[in-house]
A and B are shown apart, each in its own frame.
Chain A
Amino acid sequence: MTVLLSIRDLVIAYRRDGIEVPALKGVSLEVLAGERLAIIGESGSGKSTLALAVAGLLARGARVGGTIGWLLPASAGAKAPLSVLPDISPSRGEIGNSGAGSLLATSKIGEGGDHSVISPLEGEMSGRTERGAKDRQPSALATSQPRLGRDIGFVFQDPSSSLDPVIPIGKQIAEVARTHLDLTWPDAYTKAKTLLERVHLPNPDATLRAYPHQLSGGQKQRVAIAAAIAAAPKLLIADEATSAIDTIVQAEIVALIRRLVAEDGMTLIFISHDIALATTLADRIAVLRHGELVELGEARQIIEAPRHAYTRALLDAHLGLDAKPLLDRQGASA
């Protein structure tokens, strides 16, 4: 499998009341093209920060170090992009490792036969070098930063706040299609309707004209997913996308995500606090704790033979339908 995304020594810290609070302390991992990767952890583990960093959505003032390298495979036509880093942009604040050499000076391009892939980056770089990179770029590779919406679809936890309350559903989805696929409004609406059918919303024609408040929580999350995949992104990131909805709807949404990812050949990054939920969806699982990656492996290996004590603790804390009831233990000891 080819590597889609290579994260190296990612360090992110937020500034709060003049004090720097670390969120990620040097995380390195690779996301393979077409895989379903779950990132799990408890509150404060940095899992959402990682998702936001990959999507280029970090808050202003966050201090970022390390690299996020993109190797978007050549898709239909000219826009086949290389590229480094989403938005570790200079305008956003200080960047670590800015003294390091430029990416393209140190990385091997076009290794092997595949010219549309830049393979795992060596050395460190900062976002600053993108312009420099362009100059030295072999002509076969147009540089382009992955764009949220077009190359990355992002589904947030709370669809009530990620959807605009005063714009009809259809327009919100059509807008994404129009912006990223250069469609006319009528075409974009047709596309929106198809998308609503794909996410199994009843009566797509009526839903196009509906406003978010007229839908249930689960339906809103389906709309958010439709908008996220409108431009056929290569990567779909779901950040606790099912945490705010009840168990039955959660299972439906997970099934929907699984189907869409399979149909479109998307890569999935699924952020969750629930290790059991993650295993129902993911090929590989990364376990984060206090901003560090404690374990990364195949889903089966993680649940059957966890190597790290923390992973084991998470598994033991899970109260499944086959777990030993706490009540019995109490009764036995009383």
Chain B
Amino acid sequence: MSLLAVSNLAKRYRRGGKPFAAVDDISFEIGPAETLALAGPSGSGKSTIAKLVLRLIEPDAGRIDFEGGDFLALSGAALRTRRARLQMVFQDPLAAFNPRATVARVLDDPLRIYNIASRAERPRRIAALLERVGLDTSLAARAIHEISGGQRQRVAIARAIATRPSLIVLDEAVSALDVSVRGQILELLLDLQRQERIAYLFISHDLGVIRAVAHRVVILDAGRIAESGDARAVIADPQSAVGKALVAATPKLVRTSQDAS
């Protein structure tokens, strides 16, 4: 049974007075502990789908089923309760936190809102979360703007897993990171997936990264699905025009065979 099922999702905006479809008749499913990647050029609707799935914006048509229930039917307190199971990590971790926040406060919020731990117990839970994502517990007292980009993204992941979600939307979550940090964050995400059976909706423009971490990929073009399937198979032999263009445009390191070892 699928964890998230999106069917016939549509969202239209007005641009220069004319309506245009940002997302047009999109359907896909994600199973437990599975990573589904959304790829496509800018303007293909990747981020709009993320926002729709998270109910940050409302669709014009379509259906979203999450954990066996109609996710679009929820509102108010019921929606807020359900959100614990569906989290997100943003591209720019600096913009994703209140500029006045400390690391401790960022992690305290979900624990408090969902009554996951009592006030007295929370500092210990925060320390445990920091350790889980490979950060030193002394970081808790630091302001968000004082720590490095890689550390911030780890804090963002710690916040996302604080409520024990079954699905995390990763919106270009590693795109702004240095390559050396990127590898570590991807390893962390895969480790969490294995340990906690978390599914990811992994949004990225980088086919190299998608190929490394995703099970399946959906390639989007102008709000529609161009093709989808097993991530490695699709990237090895894309059928759609946009899929071919994306593969062709990905920078390649031309290394001789001796380096493959």
A–B proximity contact (CB within 8 A): yes
Which residues of A approach B to under 8 Å, CB–CB?
A: 42-43, 216-217, 245-252, 273-277, 279-280, 303-304, 313-315, 317-323, 325-327, 330, 334
Alpha-carbon distance between A315 and B258 when the two chains are bound, in angstroms = 14
Alpha-carbon distance between A179 and B246 when the two chains are bound, in angstroms = 40
Closest to A319 in B: B208
Smallest CB separation, B9 vs chain A (Å): 22
The reply to whether A276 and B253 form a contact with Cβ atoms under 8 Å apart is yes
Given the complex, which residues of B lie within 8 Å of A330, measured CB to CB? 190-191, 194
The reply to whether A323 and B211 form a contact with Cβ atoms under 8 Å apart is yes
Smallest CB separation, A170 vs chain B (Å): 21
Whether A323 touches B212, Cβ cut-off 8 Å, given contacts A247-B249, A330-B190, is yes
Given the complex, which residues of A lie within 8 Å of B214, measured CB to CB? 327
The reply to whether A217 and B254 form a contact with Cβ atoms under 8 Å apart is no
Smallest CB separation, A277 vs chain B (Å): 4
Given the complex, which residues of A lie within 8 Å of B235, measured CB to CB? 321
Instruction: Judge if B2 is at the interface, Cβ distance under 8 Å.
Output: no
Smallest CB separation, B38 vs chain A (Å): 13
Given the complex, which residues of B lie within 8 Å of A248, measured CB to CB? 41, 245-246, 249
| Dominant secondary structure at the A interface | helix
Smallest CB separation, B32 vs chain A (Å): 15
Whether A321 touches B42, Cβ cut-off 8 Å, given contacts A42-B179, A304-B259, A334-B194, is no
Alpha-carbon distance between A273 and B177 when the two chains are bound, in angstroms = 10
Number of interface residues of B (CB under 8 A): 41
The reply to whether A318 and B179 form a contact with Cβ atoms under 8 Å apart is yes
The reply to whether B41 and A275 form a contact with Cβ atoms under 8 Å apart is no
The reply to whether A247 and B211 form a contact with Cβ atoms under 8 Å apart is no
Provide the B12-29 mask, 1 if CB < 8 A to any CB of A, else 0.
Answer: 000000000000000000
Instruction: Judge if B206 is at the interface, Cβ distance under 8 Å.
Output: yes
Instruction: Judge if B77 is at the interface, Cβ distance under 8 Å.
Output: no
Given the complex, which residues of A lie within 8 Å of B194, measured CB to CB? 330, 334
Whether A318 touches B208, Cβ cut-off 8 Å, given contacts A246-B41, A247-B246, A325-B213, is yes
The one of B42, B149, B212, B250 in contact with A325, judged by C-beta atoms closer than 8 angstroms, is: B212
Closest to A248 in B: B249
The one of A245, A279, A280, A327 in contact with B42, judged by C-beta atoms closer than 8 angstroms, is: A245
The reply to whether A249 and B41 form a contact with Cβ atoms under 8 Å apart is yes
Smallest CB separation, A309 vs chain B (Å): 12
The reply to whether A327 and B180 form a contact with Cβ atoms under 8 Å apart is no
Given the complex, which residues of B lie within 8 Å of A245, measured CB to CB? 42
The reply to whether B182 and A274 form a contact with Cβ atoms under 8 Å apart is no
Can you name 22 A-B pairs with beta carbons within 8 Å? A42-B178, A43-B149, A247-B246, A248-B246, A249-B41, A252-B249, A280-B252, A303-B254, A304-B259, A314-B179, A315-B253, A315-B259, A319-B211, A321-B207, A323-B212, A326-B186, A326-B187, A326-B213, A330-B190, A330-B191, A330-B194, A334-B194
The reply to whether A319 and B246 form a contact with Cβ atoms under 8 Å apart is no
Smallest CB separation, B230 vs chain A (Å): 11
Instruction: Judge if B132 is at the interface, Cβ distance under 8 Å.
Output: no
